[in-house]
Amino acid sequence: MRKIYHEVFGLTSIYMMIGLAIGTMLRYGLDTSKMIQEVNQLAGLSSIYLFFGLTAIYCGSKLKDAKGDKSE
């Protein structure tokens, strides 16, 4: 289960950073102050969503284990 967390978190963070970099460069050009502000705002929101998503996955796996279903 821990391997799943690392894969999901690693891949989404890499894709998120690439997408944010390209999107903000296309949107603001080379105005770094607006770019940094936008990246901070979007990264904060997506980390909140990612936290709730991983919490839901973890709770779901614990419920499945509690029911006795060991198939993964």
Q: Kindly report the pTM of this predicted structure.
A: 0.36
Question: Chain-wide mean pLDDT for the chain?
Answer: 72
Residue 32: burial class (beta carbons within 10 Å; 0-12, 13-18, 19+): exposed
pLDDT tens-digit readout, 28-63: 776 667 777 777 777 777 777 777 777 877 777 777
Cα dihedral sign for 13, 15, 46, 54?
negative
Report the distance separating Cα 16 and Cα 31, nearest Å.
20
What are the boundaries of each domain within the chain? 2-63
Q: What pLDDT is stored for residue 37 in this prediction?
A: 77
